[in-house]
Amino acid sequence: MTSSSAVYKIGTRSSNLALFQARQTVAEFARRFPGLAFEFVPLDSPGDRDRKTDLRQSPADFFTRDLDNAVRSGTLDCAVHSAKDVPDPVSEGLDWVWLPWRADPRDALVVRQGTSVADLPKAPRIGVSSERRAAYCTEHFPEGVQRNLRGNIEERLRQLDAGDVDLIVMAAAALVRLDLSARISELIPLAEMPVPEGQGRLCLTFRAGDPTFLRLRALFTTAVRFVGAGIGAAENATMAAVSALQTCDICFHDSLMDQDLLDHLPSQARPIYVGKRAGAHYRQQTDINTLLTDAARKGYRVVRLKGGDPAVFGRLAEELEALGELNIPYRVVPGLSSLNVLSTGSGILLTRRGGANGFTVLTPRKAGGGMADISAAERSRYPVVAYMSVKACGDVCEQLVKDGWSESTPAAMVFGVGSGQEFAVRGTLLDLPNQVAETSTDLPGLLVTGAEAAREPLRCGPLRGQRVLLTCSEAILGKASREVVDRGGVPVPLPMLRLVPTEALRGTMARLGEFDWLVVTSPSSVRILMADLLAAGTDLRRLPKIATCGGGTSAELQQYGITPDLCPDYDFGATALLDEFGALVPEAASVLRVRSNKAGPALADQLRGARHRVEECIAYTTEPITHDRLPE
C-alpha cells in the first residue's frame, strides 16, 4: 500500500489481553505496511462494565458494542477483537476480516499453582462461562459443582488462587499471549472439546465500503476458485480442477458431480454441500453467497465446486458479484459441460462439415422454476459466439446488422482464450471490425455479440487483474502462479530455468544405506531426490535419518509421507541446522548432503568441521530455457 500521512486509529477493549492483541496487530501492520501509521485506542464495552450477567445469556455484541458504534461513527477507523467475540453476522454497517496470525485454539484446564488436576477433590468447584465448557465439565467431572465465572483473565486466576473455585477452563491462547502459559495445567484435546471456529484468532472490523481497509483486507484473503467439476465421471475433471481441490481448506460443492472428486481434498479440508436441483434447493443463493464471502474473509482457501462448467447455467454471476462488492478476488476454472460430452456416447455431433455450422444452447427453465420463453424472437436476444472469426469479423458484424441487429449492439473479440495472454477488444457491431483489424496479434479469437459482450471482468484484490510475467524456474512455477491468482492477478508463465537431474544422482542413491543422515535444504532438492527414489522402486522406510532447514522443505517431504528427523523451528538457515545437528548427533556420523550446483559447499564444510564424514551429491543443475516467442 502507498504511504499516507493519516494515523489510523485501531480500537480495542481495555483488558490486558485485548491491549496485547492490539499491540500485536499494530506491530504486524507496521511491519507489513511501513507506509501507514497506526495507533490503538482503548474503549470499554458492556461486557467489561457488567460483571454479573452470565455470558451464556449475554447479547451477541456484549464485548463489541461500544467499539462497533465508534467505528460506525468514524471515531475509530477499525477495531481488533478476539474473533470468537464478534457477532455473526457482524453489526450493521461494518465489514471484517480475520487476521492471519493465530494461536493455539485449544482450551486449558487451570488449577491452583503448585497442584495438578489429579489433586482435585472428588467434587471440585468449577468456574465456567459457556455452555460448551459446562458440558465438558459435566462429562469429565460429573460430581463437580459448577458456578458462573466472570472477569478478565487475571481476575479469574485470582478467584482460583483465592479458593473461590478449584478449577477453571479457559482458552490456552489467552494465557500464552499474556505470558501465563505456566498456568496451563492440562491442554484439552480438540477431539474431547471442539472449540469455536474463531478461538485463537483475531478479527479486524471496519466501516463497510472503506476503501483503505478493503485494500488492506485483500492482502489477507486468497482468491476464491470457482471450479468446474466436469460432467459424468471424476476423470472428466481437469488437472486445474484437481489442483484447486488438493490445496483448498473449504469446498462448497453441488450434487451434479461425481462425489469421488472430493477424495482429492486434503484430510483437514471441509466439504460442505450446497447443492440445488429443480424445486429442491438445499441452500438459498443468498446463503451460499454468505458462506463464500465469510469463508474468504476468514482467510480460508475456498473452492466453489460446480457440476459441469461453472459459467454455463451455474449461477456464477450472483456469486461473483457478492465477492466483487467486497473486493475479494476470484478465479474461474472451466470444466467440461454436458454440452462438451454429449457426442462421446450419443453420436450426436453439434457441428458437421458441410452440415451444421453452429447450434443454439438454452434452458427452458426460468428463475423460480417456471417455463421460459424460447420463441424465435426471444432467442434472437441471446449472445452469439462465432468461432474462427478474426478475419471474418467485418462480414459477421455486417450480416448481423442486415438481419436487424442494432449497430450499437455490444461486441467483443476475445483473443487467446484461456491462456495467460488472453485479452479482449470491445466495441459495437459498427466499430469492432476496425478495432480488430488494427490489433496486431496472431492469437486465435472468439467473436461475442450481445449485451454480455460489454461486461468487463470484476477486478479485485491487490493486483486487480494485472498480468504478471513469471520468469522463475519450472520447479516453482505452480506455486508462483497460485500466489498471483490469490492476489487477483493473471499469471503469464515464462520460465527461464529448468532443473535437470545429474547422472551422479542415481549412483549415489543406490548407496544410501552407507549413510546415517541425509541433509536436504530445498524443496527442489526434495522433488528431484524423491522422483529418482520412486523411479528406482526404493523402499522409503529404509531411508537414512533426514535433516532439513525451512518449513517449505519439510512440507515438500511430507507430501511423500516423510517427516524429517531434524528441522529447526526458530531459524530457517544453516546456522540453526548446524546447532541442532550438533546437539542431536554428538558423535561423528556419515552424512550425505544433497544440493544443486548453485548451492555451494559451505554447509558440507561446516559439518566436516564438526568431524562428520560428509559426501556431497550434486542432484541437479540449473539450465537456461530459451523461448521462440515472448508473451504479447
DSSP 301-321: -EEEEESB-TTSSS-HHHHHH
| pLDDT for res 1 | 44
Q: pLDDT value at position 281?
A: 61
Is 544 part of any domain? yes
Does the residue 158 lie in any domain?
A: yes
Task: Kindly report the CATH number assigned to the domain that includes residue 239.
Answer: 3.40.1010.10
Strand extents, DSSP E, 480-529: 490-493, 497-501, 517-520
Regarding whether 231 and 334 lie in a shared domain, the answer is: yes
**Do 209 and 63 fall within a single domain?**
yes
* Beta strand pairing call for 250-253 and 384-386: unpaired
In a domain, 491, yes or no: no
Residue of higher predicted confidence among 361 and 217: 217
CATH number of domain containing 512? 3.40.50.10090
Largest CA distance in the chain: 93
The cell 463464500 sits on which residue? 292
Strands ordered across the beta sheet of 270-273: 270-273, 250-253, 302-306, 224-228, 330-333
Percentage of the chain modeled with pLDDT above 70:
97
Whether residue 434 is contained in a domain is answered as no
Q: What is the mean pLDDT of residues 180-187?
A: 96
- Identify whether residues 177 and 48 lie together within a single domain: no
User: Which pLDDT band, with edges at 50, 70 and 90, does 2 fall under?
Assistant: very low
For the annotated catalytic residues, the residue numbers are 254, 276, 388
Q: What are the strands of the beta sheet with 445-449, ordered from one edge?
A: 384-386, 445-449, 410-415, 423-428
The pLDDT confidence band at residue 111, using thresholds 50, 70 and 90, is: very high
Kindly state whether residues 111 and 95 are assigned to the same domain: no
Strands of 434-547, DSSP E: 445-449, 467-470, 490-493, 497-501, 517-520, 545-547
Indicate if 22 and 162 belong to the same structural domain: no
Q: Among 340, 367, 389, which residue terminates a domain? A: 340
pTM summary value: 0.84
Point out which residues pair with 389 in neighbouring strands. Answer: none
Task: Let me know if residue 262 belongs to a domain.
Answer: yes
Q: Is residue 3 pLDDT above 70, yes or no?
A: no
Question: pLDDT higher for 99 or 538?
Answer: 99
**Segment among 31-40, 255-264, 367-376, 388-397 with least mean pLDDT:** 367-376
Among 138, 123, 143, 111, smallest CA distance to 192 is for 138
> Over the range 58-68, which residues count as b (16 or more CB within 10 Å of their CB) and which as e?
eeebbbbbbbb
Domain boundary among 292, 323, 340: 340
What is the Cα–Cα distance from 364 to 371, expressed in whole angstroms?
6
Same structural domain, 515 and 595: yes
Is there a contact between 465 and 457 (Cβ–Cβ < 8 Å)?
yes
Q: Is the distance from CB of 487 to CB of 510 less than 8 angstroms? A: no
Q: What is the per-residue DSSP string for 129-168?
A: -SHHHHHHHHHHSTT-EEEE--S-HHHHHHHHHTTS-SEE
pLDDT band per the 50, 70, 90 thresholds, residue 348: confident
Among 29-33, 43-47, 79-83, the range of highest mean pLDDT: 79-83
The DSSP code for 450 is S
Contact (Cβ atoms closer than 8 angstroms) between residue 254 and residue 229 = yes
Q: Is the pLDDT of residue 130 over 80?
A: yes
| 586 in the same domain as 510 | yes
Mean pLDDT of 328-342: 91
**pLDDT-based confidence at residue 327 (cuts at 50, 70, 90):** very high
Residue 245 in any domain: the answer is yes
- What is the extent of the structural domain holding 50? 7-103+200-218
Give the span between the Cα atoms of 187 and 197, in whole angstroms.
Answer: 17
In this prediction, residue 56 has a pLDDT band, given cuts at 50, 70 and 90, of: confident
Q: Are 221 and 296 in contact (CB under 8 A)?
A: yes
Cα separation of 533 and 268, whole Å?
28
What is the average per-residue pLDDT within 223-229?
Answer: 96
- In this predicted model, what pLDDT tens digit does every residue of 151-169 receive, in sequence order? 899 999 999 999 999 999 9
Joined grid coordinates for residue 269: 479440508
d(CA 529, CA 619): 7
pLDDT of 352 over the 50 cut: yes
Q: 593: which strand partners?
A: 519, 616
- Number of domains, the chain: 4
Residue 81 shares a structural domain with residue 209: yes
Confidence of residue 87 (pLDDT cuts 50, 70, 90): very high
Q: What's the CATH code of the domain at 93?
A: 3.40.190.10
What is the average per-residue pLDDT within 28-45?
90
List pLDDT tens digits, range 376-394: 888 888 899 999 999 999 9
Q: What distance in Å separates the CA atoms of residue 5 and residue 286, rounded to the nearest whole number?
A: 39
User: Which of these, 406, 446, 455, lies nearest to 429 by C-alpha position?
Assistant: 406
Look at residue 584 and tell me if it is in a domain. yes
The three three-digit cell numbers of residue 153, written as one number? 483473565
* Mean pLDDT over each residue of the chain, to the nearest integer: 90
CB 341 within 8 A of CB 367: no
Over the stretch 470-488, which tens digit does the pLDDT of each residue have? 998 888 888 899 999 999 9
b/e map 274-286, b = 16+ CB within 10 Å: bbbeeeeeebeee
At 312 the pLDDT is 87
Q: Are residues 560 and 539 in the same domain?
A: yes
- Rounded distance between C-alpha atoms, residue 261 and residue 65, angstroms: 44
Whether residue 299 is found in the same domain as residue 212: no
Element housing 67 (H / E) = helix 65-73
Q: Are residues 65 and 119 in the same domain?
A: no
Same domain, 17 and 159: no
In a domain, 367, yes or no: no
Record the cell numbers describing residue 324, joined without a space: 466483487
Q: Is pLDDT at 235 greater than 60 in this prediction?
A: yes
Helix (H) or strand (E) holding 201: strand 201-207
Distance CA 22, CA 204 (A): 10
